[in-house]
Amino acid sequence: MNRLNPEFERKIRRFTIPNLMQYIVIGQGIVFALMYIWPKLGYRLYSQIGLSRASLFRGQIWRLITFVFAPPSSSPLFLIFALYFYYMIGSSLERLWGTVKFNLFYWVGMLGAILAALITGRSDNSYLNLSLFFAFASIWPDNEVLLFMILPIKMKYLALFDALIFIYQFIVGSLSVKVTIVLCLLNVFLFVGGDLIQTFRNEVRYFKTRQNFRKNMWH
């Protein structure tokens, strides 16, 4: 999905939220701060925002939105890194795509998580968060980040490592795991599937070129 239909984009623009990742990151930070500073209130709030089929069927429809505010970690240090990382990649995608397309990308990811919860019984925002990472890595594969704040590593290698984990989980996991992975990463295939394929082809081409160069050096 490279370009949106101008008429469609115009119609939904009024429903979009500029700087969407800023609000999501702030919400996750607030929930975590309450859990850390005021555990009784914080964990009660956390229990009321998660996404589960049983809760939705009890009429708790706010969970269709609030599950995105669940913090990605219980470690303060890792949370700070994760929130900064998600804000950085989300805002970069929005600057590249524009507010409408980025909102659509995130909404499709949310819809996938909701469908996964309805089918399997429970879902969360972990795959939704990672879909941002895959989208970023497919567009800027050679961009570097500091792993553990020390080691520089290109995004494409981190994405490949995560992809291998997901493939393994898909192969050995239960049916509910397979459904969750497919649905929650549906936005990646719809919006940047072509970029992922092109990045993979480029890496294969580069690997073959390097192998041929090495063979010629030894002959």
Express each pLDDT in 175-190 by its tens digit.
888 888 888 888 888 8
Backbone phi, psi, residue 151, to 5°: -90, 120
User: For residue 21, what pLDDT is reported?
Assistant: 95
**CA separation (Å) from 99 to 71, 95, 96?**
23, 7, 9
Residue numbers in the chain where pLDDT is lower than 50: none
User: For residue 140, what pLDDT is reported?
Assistant: 85
- The pTM (predicted TM-score) of the whole model is 0.83
Q: Are 130 and 165 in contact (CB under 8 A)?
A: no
DSSP E strand boundaries for 72-143: 122-123
User: For residue 202, what pLDDT is reported?
Assistant: 64
pLDDT, tens only, 44-67: 999 999 999 999 999 999 999 999
User: For residue 147, what pLDDT is reported?
Assistant: 65
User: For residue 6, what pLDDT is reported?
Assistant: 75
For residue 35, the one-letter residue type is M
Q: Are 35 and 76 in contact (CB under 8 A)?
A: no
How big is the CA angle at 27 (ends 45 and 157), to the nearest 5 degrees? 115
Rounded Cα distance, 9 and 164, in Å: 35
**CA separation (Å) from 71 to 31, 32, 175, 188?**
7, 6, 26, 22
Residue 174 burial (CB < 10 Å; 0-12/13-18/19+)?
exposed
User: For residue 9, what pLDDT is reported?
Assistant: 78
**CA separation (Å) from 72 to 33, 41, 89, 152?**
13, 18, 15, 23
User: For residue 219, what pLDDT is reported?
Assistant: 54
